[in-house]
Amino acid sequence: MKEGFRQAMAWLHTWAGLTFGWLLFAIFLTGTLSYFNDEISHWMQPEVQAHPLDDARSLAAAQAYLQQQAPSAARWFITLPDSRDPGLSVMWQDKIDPGKRGNFIQKTLDPVTGQAVQARESMGGEFFYRFHFQLQMPHPWGRWLSTTAAMVMLVALITGIITHKKIFKDFFTFRPRKGQRSWLDGHNAVGVLVLPFHLMITYSSLVIFMSLVMPAPIAASYGNDTRAFFNDVFPATNNAPALGQPGRLLPLGPMYEQARTQWAGGHVGRLTINNPGDVNASVNVFRAGSDRVVHDFGSTVSFNGTTGELLRVSGEQSLPAAISGSFYGLHMGHFAGPVLRWLYFICGLAGTAMIGTGLVIWLGKRQLKHVKTGVMPFELRLVEVLNIASMSGLMIAIAAFFWANRLLPIGLSARSDWEVQTFFIAWGLSLLHAVLRRGRQGWVEQLSLGALLFVSIPLLNALTTSQHLGVSLARGDWAMAGFDLTCFASGVFLTWAAWKMQHRTAPQPKAVRAGSLTLEQEVN
């Protein structure tokens, strides 16, 4: 009975893992890159210079700019520069249609000169961040698909734990150079050792989208008026309407200072100014997410914009809000300093590796049966093609995205869209290539191309901008230098992988068969 249960779980683990593995690999890798969202954006918009932080100066510059450019806008948004993102971002919206996504105009300002920076048009790291939960699909569908994938991931994790017989006995075990056995060891090692992270990241992604996944409780209390629900949860978004009489907005600096004293020195992330030209203007000051692990969406201090009167200070979070906020905070890792951020990144890579090794194991185990005849049935070949395209192809696509950022002409219209299209074109071509080439050659060629593209990124950066490693290291611009060095390291890793794949010892049918019997029982 017990064995029957375990076998059923193994079956579920195998097939849930296979069907969603390719998608999950892409979600995990792009999600992992999103931990360096701001750093990637900085590399992709080298025109935005880093300055020593001075919030008072930034705030005055933003207010002066918006006053001049958008005095009659319905809302202003100001995001202050921080240690990771050097740009002062201002955004405005001319008219608000409730329930619709309005048209926003966004500019990045230089906090010292107060002028808009003529940066190249690029989505930067935001592309990976958006892709990892929207999958480049029209609005609700991408989120639905990625949430479904997260659900499947949770199932695969739990069934994986049940299937793995010797979690504690094999806790420290990794036996390299043993073919299929090493892949399984590696899959188990990154799975078990980093399991807390895997569970946290998967479960928290479901918590983040809980209003999408489980809308019933909201529907039961609020009916169809979901807007009312969000107004109750996030009271700061519920502001007084404009009166239609022109008013004069006070300087934002003192409100900023007052908000910080409310938070005992906590940092300000962004400010929203509603109806800035009206007598009923209101200013919401939002706390920076990097201050605490437990994320608080509603941590705001609101002021009347024309009198400076303190209108509202958000109270302590309720317990459910704190719980969901802590899952949100843990998933996003906004609070993480440089070292912890790198640890997050490594954990994410471990998750990606777990999915990748799982896909390789599925195929490797079934290929063994066809070693002698050398003919692969269609379904195995399909899995092989998808494995190649989803793993090495994605690496090529990511590198192509970075290359496009440097090589596309600056003045090209819809430039940032073209960057994204380059990403998908490269990915599509790698799929085509995987279809045309036989298995091993496909792997070797794609890994080599990816390696070449990544290794040469520091060189490309040196040739196309004035921010090469010599400059960025000397100036202490670690985001820029770190990006170049990380790309180089990824290239070296891909070179090693390509070399390994090229020189892989051909499987010996006899030894393999003896080993596969025991494997058969463990993997399933």
Partner 1 sequence: MLLAFLLCYAGFTALCLATDRHHGELLHSKPMPGRRLGLRAAGWSLLVVAIWPAVAATGWSQGLVEWCAVLMLSALLLVLLLPYRPRLALILAGVGLLASPVAAFAIL
Question: Does residue 267 bind partner 1 (CB under 8 A)?
Answer: no
Question: Does residue 169 bind partner 1 (CB under 8 A)?
Answer: yes
Site string for partner 1, 301-340 (x = CB under 8 A): -------------------------x---x----x---xx
Question: Does residue 343 bind partner 1 (CB under 8 A)?
Answer: yes
Report the distance separating Cα 438 and Cα 431, nearest Å: 12
DSSP state for residue 77 in the 8-state scheme: E
Question: Does residue 493 bind partner 1 (CB under 8 A)?
Answer: no
**Residue (58 or 317) nearer to partner 1, CB:** 317
Among 326, 461, 335, 330, smallest CA distance to 83 is for 335
Q: How far apart, in Å, are the Cα atoms of 348 and each of 191, 202, 354, 520? A: 11, 11, 10, 29
Question: Does residue 197 bind partner 1 (CB under 8 A)?
Answer: yes
CB contact set of 511 (below 8 Å; sequence gap of 6+): none
- Binding region for partner 1 (CB under 8 A) out of 30-38, 290-298, 300-308, 380-388: 290-298
Report the distance separating Cα 90 and Cα 76, nearest Å: 7
Q: How far apart, in Å, are the Cα atoms of 3 and each of 8, 10, 493, 520? A: 8, 10, 40, 14
Question: Does residue 137 bind partner 1 (CB under 8 A)?
Answer: no
Question: Does residue 488 bind partner 1 (CB under 8 A)?
Answer: no
CB of 176 to partner 1, least distance (A): 5
Report the distance separating Cα 324 and Cα 206, nearest Å: 10
CB of 293 to partner 1, least distance (A): 4
Question: Does residue 499 bind partner 1 (CB under 8 A)?
Answer: no
- Binding region for partner 1 (CB under 8 A) out of 192-200, 263-271, 490-498, 503-511: 192-200
Binding residue (CB under 8 A) for partner 1 from 99, 138, 176, 320: 176
Question: Does residue 196 bind partner 1 (CB under 8 A)?
Answer: yes
Question: Does residue 175 bind partner 1 (CB under 8 A)?
Answer: yes
Q: How far apart, in Å, are the Cα atoms of 24 and each of 16, 17, 322, 519? A: 11, 9, 28, 25
Q: How far apart, in Å, are the Cα atoms of 441 and each of 384, 446, 518? A: 12, 8, 30
Binding residue (CB under 8 A) for partner 1 from 18, 193, 199, 250: 193
Structure tokens that stand for 311 in this block:
């209108």
Question: Does residue 512 bind partner 1 (CB under 8 A)?
Answer: no
Please name the residue that has the structure tokens 């004035």. Answer: 466
CB of 168 to partner 1, least distance (A): 9
Binding residue (CB under 8 A) for partner 1 from 294, 361, 449, 494: 294
Asked whether 308 and 255 are in contact (CB, 8 A), the reply is yes
Question: Does residue 174 bind partner 1 (CB under 8 A)?
Answer: yes
Q: Which helix (H) or strand (E) holds 269?
A: strand 268-274
Question: Does residue 292 bind partner 1 (CB under 8 A)?
Answer: yes
**Residue (88 or 192) nearer to partner 1, CB:** 192
**Residue (284 or 317) nearer to partner 1, CB:** 317
Binding residue (CB under 8 A) for partner 1 from 293, 410, 435, 511: 293
Binding residue (CB under 8 A) for partner 1 from 173, 221, 261, 518: 173
**Residue (80 or 194) nearer to partner 1, CB:** 194
**Residue (229 or 342) nearer to partner 1, CB:** 342
Report the distance separating Cα 453 and Cα 393, nearest Å: 12
CA 247 from centroid of its chain's CA atoms: 41
Q: Which of residues 347-376 bind partner 1 (CB under 8 A)?
A: 347, 350
CB of 200 to partner 1, least distance (A): 8
**Residue (153 or 347) nearer to partner 1, CB:** 347
Query: 232 by DSSP, 3-state: which?
Result: helix
Q: Environment class of residue 471 by beta-carbon count within 10 Å: exposed (0-12), middle (13-18) or buried (19+)?
A: middle
Report the distance separating Cα 437 and Cα 454, nearest Å: 22
**Residue (52 or 196) nearer to partner 1, CB:** 196
DSSP state for residue 138 in the 8-state scheme: S
Question: Does residue 95 bind partner 1 (CB under 8 A)?
Answer: no
Q: Residues in contact with partner 1, total (CB under 8 A)? A: 27
The edge-to-edge listing of strands for the beta sheet with 75-79 is 104-109, 88-93, 75-79, 268-274, 282-287, 300-304, 310-313
CB of 156 to partner 1, least distance (A): 19
Contact set with partner 1 (CB under 8 A) = 169, 171-176, 189-190, 193-197, 292-294, 326, 330, 335, 339-340, 343-344, 346-347, 350
